[in-house]
Amino acid sequence: MFMDLHMHSNYSDGKHTPEEMIEAAIGIGYEAMAITDHVWKSSPWVPAYAAHLQTLKRKYRHRIRLYSGIEAKVVSLDGDIDADPSFDALVDLILGSIHRIPKPDGYYSTADGDRLPRRAIIEHWLEAFCRMLENPRVDIIAHPLSELKKFGIREEELPMAEITDRIAASGKILELNVRYNTPDQSVIRLSAQKGTAFLISSDSHTVRDLVLNSRLVKEFTGGGFRLVDIDRYVREKKNCPPPISGS
Ligand SMILES: [Zn+2]
Ligand SMILES: [Zn+2]
């Protein structure tokens, strides 16, 4: 299925409304899409956002399959995410991402990059990443490993076999993010061998990004990856029966 399940609207830091993103996605020819705005534990707008997307699902149901989602960043080494648990039932998909690498007393800062011990950064990243994989609230691992690049840490320095084993064992969906061009080839290759399900995302913040990046999304979609059956995934997650045809 030609789809893009990671993009932002003006509910968070995107430029355009959900309707504008949906119309653009239909224009590109996507069969399915998700709007996945950034949230924080304290975001008061999430119920209204989820209700709005619910209305849009109905409005556009004959033109595109719309999923609702949120992107929540990992806030601590124990893999906790920055989303109130009450949000979980309101949306179809939760993207987990590491935007800043946690340490016991906060986060690593790229401003101190050169002075920081690389081993500690890698160990703390690995701990937070693996605990996120164990977090049952997370469905999709968004832009995996992208945050390590900010510290100049390359895939050769990481235990790739262990990381990809853990991704496969978690059963979570691995995102190929064309905006950040991540994860690296070795993660993709090993994860494909280990049976991990992929999805290709643009992580767009504007209609222009959505259109420009759709070419790469299309290219990767035809690249032989085992893509997740998102309709089935969401139905199973929400314990819903298959849709009645014609409804
Ligand atoms: Zn992100
Ligand atoms: Zn994003």
What structural domains does the chain harbor? Answer: 3-237 (3.20.20.140)
Residue 50 and residue 9 in contact, taking contact as beta carbons nearer than 8 Å: no
Running along the chain, 247 residues long, what does each successive block of 10 average in pLDDT? 97 98 98 98 97 98 98 97 97 97 92 80 96 98 93 90 97 96 92 96 98 96 91 91 60
106 CA from centroid of ligand 2 (Å): 22
CA separation for the pair 76, 124 (Å, rounded):
10
pLDDT at 243: 64
Report the pLDDT value the prediction gives residue 111, as an integer from 0 to 100. Answer: 82
Alpha-carbon distance values, 59 to 29, 64, 137, 149 (Å):
17, 10, 28, 41
Taking the centre of ligand 1 as the mean of its atom positions, its distance from the CA of residue 189, in whole angstroms, is 22
pLDDT, position 114? 67
Name, in order, each residue with C-beta under 8 angstroms of 173's C-beta and a sequence gap of 6 or more. Answer: 139, 140, 141, 196, 197, 198, 199, 228, 233
* Ligand 2 mean position, distance from CA 203 (Å): 5
User: To 5 degrees, how large is the angle CA 86–CA 92–CA 96?
Assistant: 75
Number of Cβ within a 10 Å radius of residue 237: 12
Q: What pLDDT is attached to residue 97?
A: 98
Distance 5 CA to ligand 2 centre (A): 10
pLDDT at 247: 45
